[in-house]
Amino acid sequence: MQKLQTQDPDIYNLIQKEVARQSQGLEMIPSENHTSQAVLDALGSRLTDKYSEGYPGMRYYGGCEHADAVENLARDRAKELFGCSFANVQPHSGCPANIAVYVALLKPGDTLMGLKLFHGGHMTHGLKVNFSGVFFNSVQYGCNEEGFIDLDEMRRLAHEHKPKLIVTGGSAYARTYEWAKYKEIADEVGAFLLADMSHVAGLVAGGVHPSPIGIADVVTTTTHKTLRGPRGAMILANGNPSTPLQSVEHTKENIPTLIDRAIIPGIQGGPHNHQTAAIAVALKEAMQPEFKIYARQIVTNAKILADELMSRGYNLVTGGTETHLMLINLGNKDITGKQAESALGKAGITVNKNTVPHDPRKPFDPSGIRLGTPALTTRGMKEDEMKRIAGFIDRALGNIDNEDELTKIHIEVTEMCESFPLPN
């Protein structure tokens, strides 16, 4: 970073401040993580200079031989890691990956069905103000009173509305996704099934969450959450894309071809080769035996943290967690999600306010907070630290208006963090 420091100290200093913020505090937003230095090295490489619209061996630009090799490596590693025969590693991020699937499989106005954002889904799963709810007829299923995905409602709505695509997965669901049950419902109504495993991809890779591969017709995932890669995404399926000029029907057999065409020329231009390289690096890391240990520890840490918080009277949606995240309904504590996010932030604990299923409050000041353990686990924190962190959280939430106490907690958090540096 020497060049940056001398040439543009403004940006350099801001980056240093962000590094300090991350290393001196606890990143508990469950969609965040800390990548390795190797991933950062690939991201900061000359590959960013190169245009390579198209796919390996079929580019619209010259000089793509190394970009081809990088993309082939990323695709091969994705296929090997997740056990599938097709991977598109070009989506610039999770939202474009989902857009590409809709462009591939649906026509404007077709019906898609996804989990409500305010029950733990993602906005690209059919929120009315998102493209997925604007350009398609969106039907939304939800969670039951306990906070579990309501399969009866999913089935009833599927039979009533006959969606062409059912979207599963989500952003704030603490329980195991039951891919096979969702597939049963999709099959009953002849719908395609999309599993958006963005949140749990690292857990799937590490063998601690069931894989949707071989069940769902198509799988999307971001690469920067539990998978611990750079910001980016992938689309996975089974089958092989056909030759470029052949026209294809919207059938399950043609999904790989439809996906490749949806990415380019459908919605994107040049792939981000530096990002593809960094994804390849992260995928190699995820194939190592240590990654399985890491994935298991994420879930163990989440469970310990959840148990500790529940023993202090916190009300967890669904009564616990089986994944990397938990959703706390603060209604019984007389605190709002916004107040909690702010107080915890002052204590050096970064979380996000979140609606809980059937939330009586509004999304900008909801009843809950969402927190998770992937980034803490990457730093090497284990059961003992989770118990301490539960104590910090409880103290901070008991002192939301006590600035001195929140500052004291931040100092203790920073002291603890010194033993757990960011990866280098």
Ligand X SMILES: Cc1ncc(COP(=O)(O)O)c(C=O)c1O
| Positions marked catalytic | 51, 53, 196, 222, 225, 231
Give me the 157-176 binding string for ligand X, x by CB under 6 A, dash otherwise: ------------xxx-----
**Residue that is written with structure tokens 């998102």 in the block:** 130
C-alpha–C-alpha distance, residues 200 and 170, integer Å: 9
Spatial distance between the Cα atoms of 398 and 401, rounded to a whole number of angstroms: 9
How many angstroms separate the CA atoms of 391 and 388, rounded? 5
Give the contact letters, 104-133, x = binds to ligand X (CB under 6 A), - = no.
Answer: ------------------x-x---------
Rounded Cα–Cα distance for residues 88 and 75 (Å): 7
Residues 194-233 that bind ligand X (CB under 6 A): 196, 198-199, 222
Q: If binding means CB under 6 A, how many residues of this protein chain bind ligand X?
A: 14
Q: Figure out which of the listed residues 25, 30, 54, 94 binds ligand X, where binding follows CB under 6 A.
A: 94
* Nearest-approach distance from CB 253 to ligand X, in angstroms: 26
Nearer to ligand X, 93 or 268 (CB): 93
> Which of these ranges, 60-68, 93-101, 137-145, 317-325, lies near ligand X under the rule CB under 6 A?
93-101
Report residue 266 CA to chain centroid gap: 23
CA distances to 65, 222, 331, 344, 394 from 338, rounded to whole Å, are 50, 26, 12, 10, 16
Q: How far apart are CA 249 and CA 341, in angstroms?
A: 48
- Give me the least distance between CB of 224 and ligand X, in Å please: 7
Shortest Å, Cβ 52 to ligand X: 21
Least distance between ligand X and beta carbon 231 (Å) = 6
Least distance between ligand X and beta carbon 232 (Å): 8
31 sits near ligand X (criterion: CB under 6 A) = yes
User: Which residue of this chain has its Cβ atom nearest to ligand X in the complex?
Assistant: 94
Confirm or reject binding of residue 27 to ligand X (CB under 6 A): no
Q: What is the crossing angle of helices 403-417 and 337-346, to 10°?
A: 60
Three-state SS at 63: coil
What one-letter code names the amino acid at 60? Y
What whole-number distance in Å separates Cα of residue 410 and Cα of residue 416?
A: 10
Decide: is 95 part of the binding site for ligand X (CB under 6 A).
yes
Cβ–Cβ under 8 Å, residues 315 and 145? no
Strand partners, 414: none
Site for ligand X, rule CB under 6 A: 31, 93-95, 98, 122, 124, 169-171, 196, 198-199, 222
